[in-house]
Structure formats: structure tokens, C-alpha cells
């Protein structure tokens, strides 16, 4: 029969695993549902178009954009999955941080690197868009990940973090 200490330890481990799964679900939802890019018209700074992994929205008043809301548009899904792949790496790093395999510092660095493909794409598209449009990458998953790390920090009693960081 299990002792009281063993029972408390099992409950604590199950609670931490559930917390890690919830944080992973929130971060994955942020990658899939928040916009990768926001296209802004330069003179009046109006939002013209937003592109996500799963959806695209365009303002019908502006020519040259796909007007209306489109869910699972094949051309934008492939673009979104390609550009969001590094954001999924950040979600995995966030999961590893909450399980105690890597440090918070490495998770934040991975989050910063996760927005590089969208930033490069926005700089490359600058020459192809009409002069009145500006393509802005949106860092929503990075900001959400940082907020999660601040509000619900990983457990600090993981000894493996220091051991792994010493060797790597």
C-alpha cells in the first residue's frame, strides 16, 4: 500500500503533467489561430489583411487583397505551415521547459528565433507589395509564451535543468 508521501508525490506529478499539457495546448492554439502577418496600408495605418495558418481575412475595400474571411484556403495553408514551423519548435521548447529538460533562457531564445522566418518574409515581400502596403509579422505566440513563463513559471525543483545546462 502506498504511503501518504508517495500519494502526494503522485498527485503533484499528475498536476504538473496536466499543467504542462494545458500550456502546450494554449501555445499550439496560439500558433494556429493568431495571425502570422498583418498587412497594413501606410497612409492611414488601416489593417488590410491578416494571414494565419488556418484562416485569411481581407478588407474588401482595398484592391489587391483577397476580400472576406477564408478558412483553410489551400494556398495560404501551405504558406502558413511553412512559416509557422519555427513557431511549432517554440511550442516544443516551451513544453521541454515545463517538463524540466531545458532552461527558461533557452526557451526565450528559441521564441525569439521562431519569429525570424516571418520577419525575413516580411522584408522580402517589401519589394513585391504595392508601395502603400506594409507587411508586419505578428509576435502573438512569442508574447503569449513569455506571459505564460512569467505568470505560471516552471517548477524550480527540477535538478536536471542545471545538469543539462552545464553540459550543453
Q: What is the pLDDT of residues 13-59, one digit of tens each?
A: 555 666 778 888 888 888 888 888 888 877 777 778 888 888 888 88
Give the phi and the psi of residue 145 in degrees, each rounded to 5.
-60, -40
pLDDT band of residue 156 (cuts 50, 70, 90) is: low
pLDDT at 157 exceeding the cut of 60: no
| Region of poorest pLDDT, from 67-71, 74-78, 137-141, 157-161 | 157-161
pLDDT at site 36: 85
Long-range contact list for 27-30, CB < 8 A, 24+ apart? Answer: 27/90, 27/91, 27/94, 27/95, 27/141, 27/144, 27/145, 27/148, 28/88, 28/91, 30/140, 30/141, 30/144, 30/145
Residue 131: per-residue pLDDT: 58
Say whether pLDDT at 115 is over 70: yes
d(CA 31, CA 114): 11
Where do the domains of the chain lie?
4-34+74-167
Q: What is the mean pLDDT of residues 103-109?
A: 90
* Stretch 62-89: mean pLDDT: 81
Task: Provide the pLDDT confidence category of residue 160 given band limits of 50, 70 and 90.
Answer: very low
Strand partners for 58? 49, 68
Q: Is the pLDDT of residue 5 over 70?
A: no
Give pLDDT, residue 163: 43
In the prediction, which pLDDT does 168 show?
Answer: 46
> Is residue 8's pLDDT more than 50?
no
Q: pTM for this one?
A: 0.73
Of the chain, the percentage scoring pLDDT greater than 70 comes to 76
The CA-atom distances, in angstroms, between 93 and each of 25, 48, 112, 132, 161 are 13, 33, 12, 37, 13
Amino acid at each position: 500500500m502506498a504511503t501518504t508521501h508517495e500519494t502526494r508525490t503522485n498527485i503533484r506529478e499528475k498536476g504538473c503533467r496536466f499543467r504542462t499539457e494545458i500550456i502546450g495546448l494554449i501555445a499550439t492554439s496560439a500558433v494556429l489561430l493568431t495571425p502570422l502577418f498583418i498587412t497594413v496600408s501606410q497612409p492611414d495605418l488601416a489593417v488590410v489583411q491578416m494571414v494565419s495558418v488556418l484562416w485569411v481575412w481581407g478588407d474588401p475595400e482595398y484592391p489587391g487583397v483577397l476580400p472576406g474571411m477564408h478558412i483553410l484556403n489551400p494556398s495560404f495553408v501551405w504558406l502558413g505551415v511553412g512559416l509557422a514551423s519555427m513557431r511549432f519548435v517554440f511550442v516544443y521548447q516551451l513544453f521541454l521547459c515545463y517538463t524540466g529538460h531545458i532552461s527558461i533562457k533557452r526557451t526565450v531564445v528559441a521564441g525569439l528565433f521562431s519569429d525570424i522566418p516571418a520577419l525575413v518574409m516580411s522584408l522580402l515581400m517589401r519589394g513585391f507589395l504595392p508601395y502603400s502596403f506594409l507587411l508586419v509579422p505578428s509576435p502573438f505566440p512569442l508574447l503569449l509564451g513569455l506571459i505564460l513563463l512569467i505568470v505560471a513559471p516552471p517548477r524550480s525543483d527540477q535538478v536536471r535543468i542545471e545538469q543539462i545546462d552545464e553540459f550543453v
